[in-house]
C-alpha cells in the first residue's frame, strides 16, 4: 500500500507585520503618491469652498451642498494627512484603514460628481459657481484615483502604513 502523503508538497506561508509603536513626524510622506493626493484634495476642497462662498448666491441649497461636500472632505482628508504624517495610522494597524479610506474616497467621488454638476448648472448665473465646479470636478478625479489606489492596495493585502513581510516556504517530502 502506498503512503498517501507521498508526492505531496506542503506550502507554509508566514506573515510578519512590522510597525513602530512610537509617534513621530515623517515629512517624507507628503512626497509619496498618497501624500500628494491628500495635499491636492485639501487644496481643491478649499478652493472650491472659497469660490462658492464668495458668490452672491452662496445661500442657495446647491451652494450649501457643495460647501458641505468641500468642508467635510477638507477636514476628513486633513485629519488623515496629519495621522499619516505622524505615523498614528501605523500605531493602530489593526483598524482597516484602507477599507475606510476606500469607502470615503468612493463616496466623495460620487458626492463631488453631484455637487460639481449642480454648481456647473448654475455657472451661467454666477461665474464663481463655474470656478467652484471646475475645482469640484478636479477634486472628484483626485478622490476617484485615490479610491482606485486604496482598492488595489486592499486587494493586494498591503497595510495602510508600516511593513508586512510574507515568507513562503515549500516543503517536499523526501524519497524513501
Q: Between 58 and 173, whose confidence is greater?
A: 58
**pLDDT digits 0-9 by tens, 94-137:** 889 999 999 999 999 999 999 999 999 999 999 999 999 999 99
- The residues spanned by each domain of the chain are 29-156
Query: What digits encode the pLDDT tens for the residues 40-92?
Result: 999 999 999 999 999 999 999 999 999 999 999 999 999 999 999 998 888 88
DSSP string, 52-80: HHTSTTTTSHHHHHHHHHHHHHHHHHHHH
Average pLDDT over residues 142-160: 92
pTM of the model: 0.81
- pLDDT tens track for 5-54: 555 666 766 666 666 677 889 899 999 999 999 999 999 999 999 999 99
Amino acid at each position: 500500500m502506498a503512503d498517501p502523503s507521498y508526492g505531496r508538497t506542503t506550502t507554509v506561508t508566514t506573515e510578519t507585520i512590522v510597525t513602530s509603536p512610537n509617534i513621530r513626524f515623517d515629512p517624507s510622506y507628503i512626497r509619496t503618491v498618497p501624500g500628494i493626493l491628500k495635499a491636492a484634495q485639501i487644496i481643491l476642497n478649499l478652493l472650491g469652498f472659497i469660490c462658492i462662498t464668495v458668490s452672491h448666491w452662496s445661500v442657495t441649497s446647491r451652494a450649501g451642498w457643495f460647501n458641505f461636500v468641500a468642508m467635510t472632505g477638507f477636514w476628513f482628508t486633513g485629519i488623515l494627512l496629519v495621522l499619516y504624517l505622524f505615523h498614528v495610522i501605523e500605531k493602530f494597524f489593526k483598524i482597516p484603514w484602507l477599507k475606510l479610506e476606500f469607502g470615503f474616497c468612493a463616496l466623495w467621488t460620487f458626492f463631488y460628481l453631484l455637487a460639481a454638476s449642480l454648481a456647473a448648472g448654475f455657472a451661467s448665473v454666477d461665474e464663481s459657481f463655474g470656478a467652484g465646479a471646475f475645482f469640484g470636478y478636479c477634486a472628484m478625479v483626485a478622490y476617484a484615483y485615490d479610491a482606485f489606489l486604496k482598492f488595489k492596495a486592499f486587494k493586494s493585502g498591503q497595510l495602510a502604513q508600516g511593513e508586512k513581510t510574507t515568507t513562503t516556504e515549500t516543503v517536499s517530502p523526501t524519497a524513501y
